[in-house]
Amino acid sequence: MKTESVVSFPNPEIGPEMKGAEVVVECLAREGVEVVFAYPGGASQELHQALAKTKKLRTILPRHEQGGSFAAEGYARATGKPGVCFATSGPGATNLVTAIADAYMDSTPLIAITGQVYQKFIGKSAFQETDFFGMTLPIVKHSYLVLNAEDLPRIFKEAFHLATTGRPGPVVIDIPKDVQQARIKPEYPAKVEMRSYNPERKATDDQLEEVLRLLAKAQKPVLYVGGGIVSGNANDELLAFAERNQIPVATTLMGVGAFPETHPLSLKWFGMHGTVAGNWAVQQSDLLFALGVRFDDRITGEVSKFAPEATIVHIDIDASEHNKNKVVHYPIISDVKHALGRLNELGKKLDTPVPDTTVWLETVRGWMKEHPFRFDPDCPHILAQEAIRVLFELTKGEAIITTGVGQHQMWAAQFYDYANPRSYISSLGLGAMGYGYPAALGAKMACPDKHVIDIDGDGSFVMNIQELATAKIEKIGAKAMILNNQHLGMVVQWEDRFYNSVRGHTILGDASNIGSPDNIGGLYPNFVQIAAGFGVPGRMVHKKEELRDAVQEMLDCDGPFLLDVVVPYTEHVLPMIPAGKTVADMIIK
């Protein structure tokens, strides 16, 4: 579908005549794409023929379209560059929807390219036809239905511009088969300017000087930091601002790694299962800097009672987030890297006074010391928390961690300390199970020299277990450490806390044979055997004395490896703020 745009190419580069599908591949190469994740079908066959003939980029064949699109997300989250996935029409396209929605929620740059039936069949319920353009409108930055092959170069230039500028996000390009087959002489624009799209927003000095005046008077300031710092590459500016003004930093889960968690100003992350200190500090703050965040419910709880005494400064590139969930005092539309960098410059230039946070820092550090994340080291069984801590120690905190969704996802954030951005990759806004291992494949493709480990649950891992075949055949050395408790652990935790432990279909294993982790005869499925069937080595461990050796074996393996760690199902993720409640209702033990 043709968009309103102004194309700036006074001297466009005109290429040789080729098929529309070949134009697509050339456009990707011109945007610096090195790898795509693509599953073929009838309506996308022309695209795959073009991919098969190029040496300009590598095509990874996933074993399910959702696996491929999650892998593209993992690639994007690890690099900041757009991930690219392909699927055919109908069911192939609809299998991308979860990842597209996930990318939209977590502001991940994603280009999803789908084949579509011939134009003459659109709207006639043809074989494998869906209105993918319309279907994805609520979950994208933009959707295209390409009706003219001559528009392909412009559309791809626009799509990458949209996906990567301002607040990043997904873009869908739906291409009918006759457009793929059409022969054209493509005209490649050098750049595009889209009418009504102005992503380069910057705070004014007047706005920022007012922020500095507020800061000088503050006694209990806190930096509330989200994924916008990561996507905006503003971690260095954040560190400088926090250190100059001696302000404690509490991140969201999307912001994990934006500020080094071993730094004395770090409160790690806060929210439903975050640190006691982080939650208390934000709640009791008198000045709250909200940077690249959206005040989601897992952070605020009952929003009307969130940070009730704080003057809130909200800096975000997306104006639609201002006052959407929480009414703030100073909404500032800006690229956060510019805003923080300029705050640092103005602070030095104007020699503005920094707040005296000595007493405040003593208080919050006292809370951190008194209420750390903890587990019982004397438990006779391997606890999930202990397994993650061992992984942290053996990788020295330098791995990229992906996760599925559930208890393991929270423990992976609690017990692995992240010093760098883009090192904790998880489905956070959408909470999509099955995300972890495909995302690990994408992250490993992006960062082949780093350890990439998917910390997963048995319920979440099995949803895309087929991607072990992708890892084997494509020689992608992503590891999986499954924390296997035979239950849907997070739902079980809610059942225990709020539903009198009634099990509403949350037992994954053989209910008649589940008890102590020492009773491993009834484990189902046998992940090590399944991995072997895909040609991937694995090991199962249930004795504490074998844990460290087993984790080291996983790390030493050159290729993919599956480590099945048997853990109790009785553990709960704590602290916990019940949904819709406040910090005052926090369950600490």
Q: Which of 506, 526, 525, 512 is nearest to 569 (CA)?
A: 506
The confidence score (pLDDT) of residue 510 equals 83
Q: Please tell me the predicted confidence (pLDDT) of residue 196.
A: 86
In the set 177, 220, 268, 444, the catalytic residue is 177
Using a 10 angstrom Cβ sphere, with 0-12 exposed, 13-18 middle and 19 or more buried, the burial of residue 14 is: exposed
Examine the pLDDT at 373 and tell me if it is beyond 90.
yes
Q: Model confidence at 440, in pLDDT bands (50, 70, 90)?
A: very high
Q: Is the pLDDT of residue 9 over 80?
A: no
C-alpha angle with apex 237: 371 to 78, nearest 5 degrees?
75
Catalytic site includes residue 133:
no
Question: Which among 1, 53, 56, 127 is annotated as catalytic?
Answer: 127
Supply the pLDDT for residue 12. Answer: 77
Residue 524: band (very low, low, confident or very high) from pLDDT cuts 50, 70, 90: confident
Please write the tens of the pLDDT for every residue from 256-309: 999 999 999 999 999 999 999 999 999 999 999 999 999 999 999 999 999 999
| Residues 97-123: tens digit of each pLDDT | 999 999 999 999 999 999 999 999 999
Tell me which amino acid residue 210 is.
Answer: E
Residue 512 scores a pLDDT above 80: no
* Average pLDDT taken over every residue of the chain: 95
Q: ∠ at Cα 298 (203, 582), nearest 5°? A: 105
The torsion angle over the Cα atoms of residues 407, 408, 410 and 411, rounded to 10 degrees, is 120
- pTM of the shown model: 0.96
What are the pLDDT digits (tens) for 27-60? 999 999 999 999 999 999 999 999 999 999 999 9
Number of H helices, E strands in the chain: 23, 24
The larger pLDDT score, comparing residue 427 to residue 519, is at 427
* 92-95: Cβ within 8 A, 24+ apart: 92/39, 92/41, 92/43, 92/44, 92/65, 92/128, 93/65, 93/130, 93/132, 93/174, 94/130, 94/132, 94/135, 95/64, 95/65, 95/66, 95/69
d(CA 509, CA 524): 5
Any catalytic annotation for residue 127?
yes
Q: Can you give the pLDDT at residue 523?
A: 84
On the question of pLDDT at 357 being above 70, the answer is: yes
Is 60 exceeded by the pLDDT of residue 7? no
Which residue blocks in 147-234 are alpha helix, DSSP H? Answer: 152-164, 177-181, 205-217, 227-231
Active-site annotation holds for 65: yes
Comparing 224 with 513, the larger pLDDT belongs to 224
C-alpha 327/C-alpha 308 separation (Å) is: 11
Q: How confident is the model at residue 521 (pLDDT cuts 50, 70, 90)?
A: low
Matching residue, tokens 């990759």: 425
Q: Which of 83, 79, 362 is nearest to 219 (CA)?
A: 362
Helix (H, G, I), strand (E, B) or coil at 135: helix
Catalytic hit among 119, 128, 181, 466: 128
Give the domains, in start order, of the chain with CATH numbers: 6-193 (3.40.50.970), 205-370 (3.40.50.1220), 384-566 (3.40.50.970)
Confidence of residue 515 (pLDDT cuts 50, 70, 90): low
pLDDT of 2 strictly over 50: no
Catalytic residue among 368, 433, 481, 490: 490
> Per the residue annotation, which of 26, 46, 65, 158 is the catalytic one?
65
